[in-house]
Amino acid sequence: IHLRPNNNSIFSTLYKLLRIFLNMKLSTSMITATMLSSTAAFSFSRNGAKFGARALTARHMSSDAMPHSDEKMPFYALGVNLANQIGKGQLDNLLSEDEMDLVIDGFSSIMKGTNLVDGQAVLMKYGMELNQILTSRTASVSEKIKADGEDFIANFLDCNDEAVKTDSGLVYYSMVEGTGAQPTTADSVEVHYHGTLTDGTVFDSSVDRGQTITFPLGNVIKGWQEGLAMMKEGGKATLVIPSDLAYGDAGTGDSIPGGATLKFEVELFKVNP
């Protein structure tokens, strides 16, 4: 399900992307690679490469007509794809509307060749300041999200007397007690799961896809390793996982922000030694 996170922070990733876009025009090969990367980001693989961590939610989308003609929409789609690659869903939490306009202005001028200053010179002079701004703002947003998660955990424990909080901070609530084998991190497990943020937003769900998933327990986030090890085959439980047992301050994809507490309902079908 959810692979162990890497330690790359959003600001370093954004800085690398900005360097790419400011220093070169988008070649055909780059367009292809970008489109393939986006496709993979929203895909689901049973083999473990991607597990839908960037599952697309439709809560803010409308069914209105497209903004351009069918002939023009493929190019509009490229713009949407580039925005997703740069970090839409993360950047809009860090920048004001005026600052976002400046980002778009810099991007547009370089892409169109209308820039009045050298892109490399801009990066050399302001790149470090950009890094510092994004570092500071990411930390502030992450701390607020962490605090919301702590409140959610406290409320969950108050409302569920049988829920237990382990020494690590994981909250485990058994919904159905299993009677079969109990997994370790050396095993593979077959499960159904439904993952939400503390506001109820669904970011990933094998239940919604209608297909269970099998994966090595040792390859997933710490909260899953600990929580699944407390279950037995045939059991169902709710796991509330604080960020330090999930994706930390970096978050992952567009759907799980830094500092996020995650809630999973998990049903354990089979343990494979």
Per-residue model confidence (pLDDT) at position 30: 39
pLDDT in tens, the chain (273 residues): 565 554 444 444 454 455 444 443 333 333 333 333 333 333 323 233 223 332 333 334 445 689 899 999 999 898 888 887 776 556 777 888 899 899 889 989 998 999 888 999 999 999 999 999 988 887 788 889 999 999 999 999 999 999 999 999 999 999 999 999 999 999 999 999 999 999 999 999 999 999 999 999 999 999 999 999 999 999 999 999 999 999 998 888 778 988 999 999 999 999 999
Phi and psi at residue 174, to the nearest 5°: -80, 125
- Report the candidate in 183, 165, 184, 158 with the shortest Cα–Cα distance to residue 235: 183
Q: Which helix (H) or strand (E) holds 266?
A: strand 262-272
- Based on the residue annotation, tell me whether 172 is a catalytic residue of this protein: no
Task: Give the Cα separation of 250 and 246 in Å (integer).
Answer: 10
Q: Is 221 a catalytic residue?
A: yes
Catalytic residue among 221, 241, 249, 256: 221
Q: Which of 21, 156, 203, 215 is catalytic?
A: 203
CA distance 241 to 265: 11
42 among known catalytic residues: no
3-state secondary structure at position 30: helix
Look at residue 43 in the predicted model and tell me its pLDDT: 30
Of 247, 249, 254, 256, which residue is the catalytic one? 247
> Annotated catalytic, 173?
no
Query: Which listed residue (145, 153, 204, 241) is catalytic?
Result: 204
Unique residue bearing structure tokens 């809560």: 59
Max CA pair span of the chain: 70
d(CA 260, CA 198): 8
Supply the pLDDT for residue 248: 92
Distance (Å, whole) CA 96 – CA 102: 10
Q: Which of 11, 21, 172, 193 is catalytic?
A: 193
Q: Is the dihedral of CA 242, 248, 250, 254 positive or negative?
A: negative
d(CA 183, CA 107): 50
In 3-state terms, what secondary structure has residue 130? helix
Please give the model's pTM, rounded to 2 decimal places: 0.63
In this structure, the number of other CB atoms found within 10 A of the CB of residue 255 comes to: 21
Sign of torsion over alpha carbons 257, 259, 265, 268: positive
What is the bridge-based pairing of β-strands 188-197 and 262-272? antiparallel
Cβ–Cβ contacts within 10 Å for residue 33, how many?
Answer: 11
pLDDT for the residue 145: 92
The answer to whether 216 and 201 have CB atoms below 8 angstroms apart is: no
Please indicate whether residue 204 is annotated as part of the active site: yes
Whether 193 is catalytic is yes
